[in-house]
Structure 1
């Protein structure tokens, strides 16, 4: 078996040409890798810009990638003998990821809410039954409110 890997773009072309004859998911320390058979070759699916096999921490994620990304719906072999969850993939721990994702979801929710509020305001502004208040009327109302507040604050001695 060759130690060279095959990249995702090549696999996609081979799948379109119906040249992939089989796929196997192999358990590794810390994850799962994929071995593809085409012609007389067997090669592991590699990571981008490197000649190393790609590893997935989750078997479900690996299977989803095969089905959704590569359009390979049949796996000939699932070998879990070498799998060990005790040895996690190096360099993959991201303790800040949960906080980053929480902030991203909060920002997305706020953006959705804000756009919804703008849409409601625009509909209300376009409604012919909307009563408009002039700038002068608003200024007069606030002059009255300010004077009432001043009178209340001087009455309590808080000024």
Structure 2
């Protein structure tokens, strides 16, 4: 039960961050847009970049644990036109594990750059480990993109060097 409470809090924080970006009028002319089937208005895609361990469930924030909740949240948001009017929520996932299944401080930042170049996401979810979150947090700060993580418990994340991180 505690796990699902944490996931729901995490998703609520993510929705608040996305709503703040929408209110600030953040839009990109190169984002793919589709026609809404109800109102005929242009629908804007919102992409979330997810960087988590893909298979190692020793991490509480691994994809097998978090993925189903994120998929359900995306489906719920897209099914209710009052949550993000004229927007379509989607995500792109990349693995932060090395060949041994451990969070990798060299792989995670490479995955962040790949996701940024390929999808220009509105927010990053993960990575969760302190060593992987540090370089990704510096990138997201530079890109002015929020990063939401359930991990990254190091004290350094609270000092203002990583203003894009919410954990």
- The TM-score, its normalising length taken from structure 1, stands at 0.24
- The TM-score, its normalising length taken from structure 2, stands at 0.24
- Say which one has the larger Rg: 1
